[in-house]
Structure 1
Amino acid sequence: MEGAEAGEQEWAAVAQDLLALGYEGCPGAASPGTSCPDFRALCARLAAELATLGALEREREEGTEALSAGDGPGAEEEFLRQLAGLLWELHCPDRELCGGDCAASLREPDARLRLLRFLCSEVQAARLLRLRSRLDPNPEPSCGEGAEAGSGMVQELILTLQALGLPRPTPGTPACQLLRDLHAKISELLPSLPPESLQPLLNHPLDAPRWEVLASLSQSLRDQYGCRRCLLLKRLDLTTSAFHWSDRAEAQGEAMKAVLIPIREALTSESDVSIAHVLAARADLSRLVPATSKTARRGTCCAINKVLMGSVPDRGGRPNELEAPMPSWQSRREDGGGRKAGRQCWGRKKKKK
């Protein structure tokens, strides 16, 4: 009786873990095991989340499930075959489950309990690792577009925390707790702002047609921004190439390239302005500020503005100050006095008095 009560308590603990993870309908100890469609469906859902979180190392074809929970005469055999590969891929430490006869071991309620506990712990670990990768201010270098996007979101989060005066979150901080801290800090700072300082620039509700128009407008502006950035980058390349024409550049050419090339490679023609920036824009953004005003010069002034250029050679460029060119006069030749064909004649010489 004591063993039965302990087994029921262990199944109740696993059911609570599944419920905390968002899974309901945990089968009890009296379930028939792998022959039960509900048991196979629960394991398949846990395996599908592990595949979504990137916990599985092997690449699967599109539409291929980690565990199939179908019905039919061969559904149980296919489930057991895929389960053996899944446990081997997850490096399951349970030798009985990873042994040769997985079907015989899963006939025991204790083995099914260990299988569900192992899958639950793997899902919890995968969720924590995913959350840590999003909140870690110094993520490990990885390749791929997803890694670059995640790194960008982490940098945005760090800048938000710095602007609000909040410390960096420790690894493993739940996202809900972080959002609550941000909301509390923003609510604390809002009363100190001037009235109507956070009025949105886009104050109309967006339905489906307006979203389409906004997306089309954003794409058009992105294309124009890209064209203008290409022009500016071309001007930059021509300007930097002009510095290599001098005699001194022969000795300093490699040092100049070592400084300019990393900066130039970081500049791309693609614009990072998206619809999110439009939705986050405030009404004061539409206020035009002269480029020469004190407010604008606070962000544009630098030490090079105080450098005075010395005397430079006159390069001309003023046609109104130049005199009209005078025609050239030539004397007659002694070989007949005829004019050469194609020579321009500006006039005749005046006779001497």
Structure 2
Amino acid sequence: MEGDVLLTVRALGYSGQLLEEDALLQAAGEGPRSPQFTALCSWLASELKAVSSLEECITTTTSPEDSETFQLEVSGLVSELQCPYPTLTTGNVTSRLNNAESCLQLLLFLGSELQAARVLHARRPSLAQHQVPRDTGDDGGEILRELQALCQALGMAEPTRDVPVPQLFRDLETQIRDVSSGLVPDGVGKPLLSRSLDPDQWEHLKEIHRAMCIEYECRRQMLISRLDVTVQSFHWSEGAKQHKAVMVQSYEPLRQALCARSGITLAHLLSAREDLSVITKTTCESSREKTACPVNKVLMGPVPDRGGRPGEMEAPMPTWEDRRGGGGGGGGGRKQKWRGKGRKHK
């Protein structure tokens, strides 16, 4: 059995003091009284907890007096893992690890559980990791930015990589409740999205959001290109050539801040209130209460008529002129010339 234990812990990446068979057998013979044995058990339990939703843990002992506490912790751990070995789950708690065979069986059981947990974790990283996402990819970066903005708005520290997601959301919920308690009733307003969506509906909503982002990114890129062409035309004049460096220095910071990619995310939909769906005209009474000013009361006087009405224009009439040059030609030496709409026919 000790050979299987050595192969297992080496494959799992263990680099402690029990990589030799003799050292392993000696530590297993001492059992909970051996700090090396308890350290290996603690390492396996900590690695197992990192890739699963394990609650129990094992603490490394520093002296033989801590052996009883260690065995109590082992009992809770194997019970949570639903260990199938009766020698590790039945009988007196402080006497289950009194022989080397039981200790080796415990190491082999924890090692096999860790191997299985790592395989499941690799197959389902989004469900097994339970940690704040890294800023990699569109979805992960978007989630991380939204969490950072939320923590900043609530006056909390930015989330780090080692913070479990359930703990982070519990802290956020507590802080939001504290902040909301100081607001007036219905001060925030009712949400625009008033119903819950199932996973399939969320996927359809994401597809709609992606399509709209592509559409608006194209439009924003077109507007930015028009702006670049317009600003470039300003440099053509002789007076602008003398101040080209100043113009570029003033324009470049503003241009770099313009981004074609849309910053609207699904989080904006969740935070939208009902009043966002109410569209009012700028000339309505409620809007004019805040936008009215004395300039609006100034009346323009009579202005000259500049014309430009196609319905009142007359069609141009053709004109006939004598031929000024000589030369033979039919028609009694005369040439007809019609002028109309800028075209000449001879």
TM-score by length of 1: 0.49
Flag the structure with larger Rg.
2
The structure with higher relative contact order (CA 8 Å, sep 6+) is: 1
TM-score by length of 2: 0.49
